[in-house]
Structure 1
Amino acid sequence: MDATRSDPVFLAEMVHATIEAGATTVNIPDTVGYAIPSDFHRLIRYLFEHVPSINRAVISVHCHNDLGLAVANSIAAIEAGARQVECTVNGIGERAGNTAMEEVVMAVKTRGDLFNVRTGVNTKQIMQTSRLLTNITGVSVQPNKAIVGGNAFAHESGIHQDGLLKHAMTYEIMKPEDVGISKSTLVLGKHSGRHAVLDRLTSLGFQLGQDELDRFFRLFKALADSKKEVFDEDLMVLVGESIFREEKQRRYKVENVQISTGMFSPPMALVTIKDHERGNSEMFEVAHGNGGVDAGVTAVKRITGSAARIESFNLVAITGGSDAVAEVHVTVVEEYEGREIKAFGSAANIDVSIAGIHSFVDGLNKLEYMKIAGQHRQGLLNGMGNGKV
């Protein structure tokens, strides 16, 4: 039961007697996780050298992870001649757990030049099996867990990302596809270089001109300095911020806003919009809503036919007093070609409702140019700035 703390001579006698009695598999357990790799290797070799009948049975090992050495001890036992490893998916088990199946399997597969053995495990099912177990048990895998952790194939360092894009094996000893992961993850952050960011933009379907890229990277670095990881949604917003045009070239321009509201009457807004792509024709719409901003946004959506929505709405009073200038910042979201795109919109006005409506239109304009970039159109025009009233 606790072979690693047993007398080796006595243990060899017990293994021999067990095999003589007909056993075809004999397990050598490190039940309390006491062994270290050199000790365990020496013990297994001792058995092979002192048990006359040992070649008539498969020597198995069962290691616990109390010292964090379960996998290392199992690998050492394989080197010494063991041909069965008792292990568990994700290394789950009593106390600190057991030998992690996925780690042993991939160690044997990756370093086949040393072991000259194989497992017969379909490694492409490893990640799916790991996630299945997580769903069943409710026990999450730590992000930095080898093979199946969320960061196992994630790279943030700019040098690493650049090398990985040029030749994956530069910084990866295993293919993520071999364990059932579609591809490596380039974690974008303050250490990321232009190569990795450009690759992610391309994968998201964006192609920016040089001026737009320069503005994009300035915004990206500023954002990356303030948060640990930059996600795809963040990149989409930055694209909208970096592709800006002159006021006269923006697709939508708010010509007029009239709002009527009261304690006992539903808020109503009349909005007039000029559409640059429709020959600067003016269109107006009247709509009700839960407040002036909601009514105005509803009117704008009817005019433009947009299905965009405001995901977040932030209000800042720039000056003091009841006549303070209000600055509104919104995040506008829209479904486009099967994916969700986002853009920031901003505007300032003494009237909060008017500022909110202008900020929404500012976000719509940025979404329009994100769509242009996403379609890889050539000759992107320069400039689209923050909303101004």
Structure 2
Amino acid sequence: MISNPATKYRQFPVIALSDRQWPNKVIDRAPRFLSSDLRDGNQALIEPMSIEKKLRMFDLLVECGFKEIEIAFPSASETEFKFVRRLIEENRVPDDVVLQVLTQAREDLIVRTFESLKGCKQAIVHVYNATSPVFRQVVFNKSKEEIKALAVHGATLIKEEAKKYPETDWSFQYSPEIFSDTELDFAIEVCEAVCDVWQPSPQKKVILNLPATVEMSTPNVYADQIEYFCRHISRRESVVISIHVHNDRGCAVAATELAIMAGGDRVEGCLFGHGERTGNVDLITIALNLYTQGIDPTLDFTKMNKIVREVEHCTQLPVHPRHPYAGELVFTAFSGSHQDAIKKGLSQRKKDIESNNGAYWQVPYLPIDPIDLDRSYEAVIRVNSQSGKGGVAYLLEQDHGIEMPRRLQIEFSRIAQKEADTTGKELTSGVLYSIFEAAYFNAPKHVELLQHKMLGEDDEGNTTIHAIFKTNNQTIEVETTGNGPIAAFVKAINQSLNLDIDVVDYNEHARSQGAQASAVSYIEMQVGNRTLFGAGTHVNSSKSSYLAIMSALNRAIDKNWISLNH
């Protein structure tokens, strides 16, 4: 860093808007949401998603309630084109979901884009071109008139190409790129010219997307830009103002919320803020911020554990443990005073509910009820057992080859601490291993796995297994197919015992103990809104994972979390 940054960097100019109205506005309804995970998010991955992963992500987005999904840049690659075709040809798109695709303002790319959407019921074609000074002058060496002419040309091509596919209900979207760095009056001039071509109406609106593709100012300046644009664009009742903010300054959520107050109708972004560089605005945070203010976000993030797991699988990017609402530590307090306040708040809420005295959520340090996101209160109060977990984990790993995942360290430290409190004796590594073995490897066998066999695996990774279980003097035989061996095995348990359990996390490592090498598997199982671990060990890694699932299942039954009445 240089001693005087003013010699290298200029302060972003403020907007002449002395009578700005947005600071007095209140967000009282959710905007329209568009997920760009499959386009903007995907293009920023080290390894872009395969078609199978994109299909899996699409299904997740639909499950979360997204009605507008930007799925691809179809002309960019054959993979992108084929993905769009599979969605349409395999009838994977619900009737109430609108697909959006991106294209540059070039004739060959526009033609290819429409070809990809042939047969689609309804779609948004999103076209963009660079309008900001640095792109005009440095990248393309074009005048304002040439830039505007390019936008008009692209809009005209799209309008004409759409006529060739009358079976599709078309909508159009235009982005002046980079809006956040474009002179406001010029951005409006270009958008007006595009609208002159498309002729929007209140019944058939055009989307004008105003991207802060590079976040260059404080959030209030972006809000001023949006309010200025909304005031000066003609046919305001015939256009949808869309907000698309990147997170270069770490202010994407704040900028988006202020932009909604300033007149934005629609928000584009990605789950967990994926996207180029520092990413897009995080739609989960935006939606749940609304939720905590009593506003229906129109999106459903109840199954947060599943969402985290699916996104991590598809993107190969981890969700940070401190990520708002979704991270594994966001409902955990390590401070004793914080813990005490949370406990008292939860206790008071229980009393209020029992006496029908006040329904509003008021628990110190928790802006949202973890239960609403399918998280349990154990995640909050587990701090009681943090003391000594590092030492316990170290001894088991060093002396017995047990490399516990972090959350299992927390769970097992409770068991070890209880034993220490009961016996009043030092817990040596041998004693700790005996406690671990009794609690996990040798958990009570309320349900026993008598036999299992993998019958086959198809090209998409779907696995079919055959299993025989014994419980309550009954033998149950089942054959199921799932997305991999673990998913198939869990499905077999659910089908056999009429349960609804799920695997939140899976870890495995090799272990050498004595003369025989073996595998150790750890399963974190979700039962209702609570989770617990199971562990298994065997020379066969598949058998090890099945034993870990059985361990977690039997421990849940032992805790009376599960009833075997079926």
For the aligned pair, the TM-score class normalised by the smaller chain equals: 0.5 to 0.7
The one of 353, 371, 376 aligned to 1:177? 371
> 1:15: Cα distance to partner?
2.9
Corresponding residue for residue 292 of structure 2:
110
> 1:26: Cα distance to partner?
0.9
The reply on whether 1:9 has 2:188 as its aligned counterpart is: no
> 1:125: Cα distance to partner?
3.5
Provide Cα deviations, 1:80-101, integer angstroms capped at 9, x if missing partner: 1112111101111111111111
Corresponding residue for residue 243 of structure 1:
422
User: Residues 343-382 of structure 1 correspond to what in structure 2 (within 5 A)?
Assistant: none
The reply on whether 1:38 has 2:232 as its aligned counterpart is: no
DSSP-derived class of the 1:58 partner: strand
CA pair 129-244 structure 1, distance change in 2 beyond 3 A? closer
Distance 2:424 2:377 in 1: 36
> 1:145: Cα distance to partner?
1.0
Identity %: 23
> 1:224: Cα distance to partner?
6.9
The one of 176, 186, 208 aligned to 2:380? 186
CA pair 119-244 structure 1, distance change in 2 beyond 3 A? closer
CA pair 3-171 structure 1, distance change in 2 beyond 3 A? same
Corresponding residue for residue 97 of structure 1:
279
What amino acid maps onto 2:279 in structure 1? G
Corresponding residue for residue 339 of structure 2:
161
Distance 1:243 1:330 in 2: 14
Corresponding residue for residue 326 of structure 2:
148
Corresponding residue for residue 139 of structure 2:
none
Provide Cα deviations, 1:346-380, integer angstroms capped at 9, x if missing partner: xxxxxxxxxxxxxxxxxxxxxxxxxxxx99xxxxx
CA pair 330-146 structure 1, distance change in 2 beyond 3 A? closer
What amino acid maps onto 2:367 in structure 1? I
Corresponding residue for residue 312 of structure 2:
134
Contact residue 142 and residue 149 of structure 1 kept, 8 A: yes
Distance 1:237 1:97 in 2: 42
**Unmatched runs of 5 consecutive residues or more in structure 2:** 1-176, 347-362, 394-405, 447-557, 560-566
The reply on whether 1:64 has 2:246 as its aligned counterpart is: yes
Distance 2:274 2:432 in 1: 45
DSSP-derived class of the 1:41 partner: helix
DSSP-derived class of the 1:170 partner: coil
Corresponding residue for residue 232 of structure 1:
411
Corresponding residue for residue 72 of structure 2:
none
RMSD (CA atoms) = 3.3
CA pair 92-233 structure 1, distance change in 2 beyond 3 A? same
Provide Cα deviations, 1:28-57, integer angstroms capped at 9, x if missing partner: 001122232111110111012111312211
What amino acid maps onto 1:233 in structure 2? F
Provide Cα deviations, 1:82-126, integer angstroms capped at 9, x if missing partner: 1211110111111111111101111122235xxxx6431013144
DSSP-derived class of the 1:27 partner: strand
Corresponding residue for residue 331 of structure 1:
433
Corresponding residue for residue 355 of structure 1:
none
Provide Cα deviations, 1:224-263, integer angstroms capped at 9, x if missing partner: 79799972212212222222389xxxxxxxxxxxxxxxxx
What count of residue pairs does the alignment treat as equivalent?
230
Contact residue 37 and residue 72 of structure 1 kept, 8 A: yes
Corresponding residue for residue 284 of structure 1:
none
CA pair 34-152 structure 1, distance change in 2 beyond 3 A? same
Contact residue 19 and residue 26 of structure 1 kept, 8 A: no
**Unmatched runs of 5 consecutive residues or more in structure 1:** 190-195, 198-219, 247-310, 314-328, 340-373, 376-389
Contact residue 389 and residue 410 of structure 2 kept, 8 A: no
DSSP-derived class of the 2:242 partner: strand
What amino acid maps onto 1:238 in structure 2? Q
What amino acid maps onto 1:173 in structure 2? P
Normalising by structure 2, we get a TM-score of 0.37
Structure 1's consecutive aligned runs of 4 or more residues displaced over 4 angstroms after TM superposition are 224-230, 336-339
Distance 2:378 2:284 in 1: 18
Distance 2:244 2:374 in 1: 26
DSSP-derived class of the 1:60 partner: strand
Corresponding residue for residue 270 of structure 2:
88
What amino acid maps onto 1:242 in structure 2? D
DSSP-derived class of the 1:154 partner: coil
CA pair 37-138 structure 1, distance change in 2 beyond 3 A? same
Distance 2:262 2:190 in 1: 19
CA pair 225-170 structure 1, distance change in 2 beyond 3 A? same
Provide Cα deviations, 1:163-197, integer angstroms capped at 9, x if missing partner: 212224222111122233233613655xxxxxx56
Contact residue 213 and residue 245 of structure 2 kept, 8 A: yes
